[in-house]
Amino acid sequence: MKSFGKRLRECREEKGLSQQKLANELSTSHSVIGRYERDEMIPSIDVAKKMASLLDTTVGYLLGEVEEGDTFKDPTMLQRLKDINHLDEEERRCVLFSLDAILRDAKTRRAYATK
């Protein structure tokens, strides 16, 4: 499992940010960012939230609670999930029911295509 520091570094590099640029955004120094990335320090929850927001990911991904970071790093996908979450219960149930059917169909097609 990747550490917080490794995940932070990956996300930072994927966004094309230097340690200095991220540090500037967080009102800290690049040496602090380096210490986070080397797992010598752990940020406060408030700093972790700011990092996640700047890096288009979640605190859960940075902490290793969620392995599928790509879903949460894609701002469009994350917005869709947020939109679904804000629907009322019946609308959300309908959307998820439809989504489940589409995913099941796609998985079935993929399974038959590889044979």
Cα torsion at 7, 13, 15, 21 (round to 10°)? 110
Confidence of residue 75 (pLDDT cuts 50, 70, 90): confident
Spatial CA neighbour of 11 closest among 51, 66, 64, 49 = 51
Contacts for 55 with CB less than 8 Å, ≥ 6 apart: 8, 11, 12, 14, 15, 17, 62, 73
Q: What is the model's pLDDT at position 113?
A: 86
Residue 69 has pLDDT above 90, yes or no: no
The whole-model pTM stands at 0.63
Q: Are residues 56 and 95 in the same domain?
A: no
Total domains in the fold of the chain: 2
pLDDT value for 12:
94
Q: What is the mean pLDDT of residues 56-60?
A: 85
Q: Domain residues for 19?
A: 4-67
The reply to whether 106 and 57 lie within a common domain is no
Centre a 10 Å sphere on the Cβ of residue 106 and count the other Cβ atoms it contains.
10
Rounded percentage of the chain residues whose pLDDT exceeds 70: 92
Do 59 and 101 lie in one domain? The reply is no
Q: What CATH number is associated with residue 23? A: 1.10.260.40
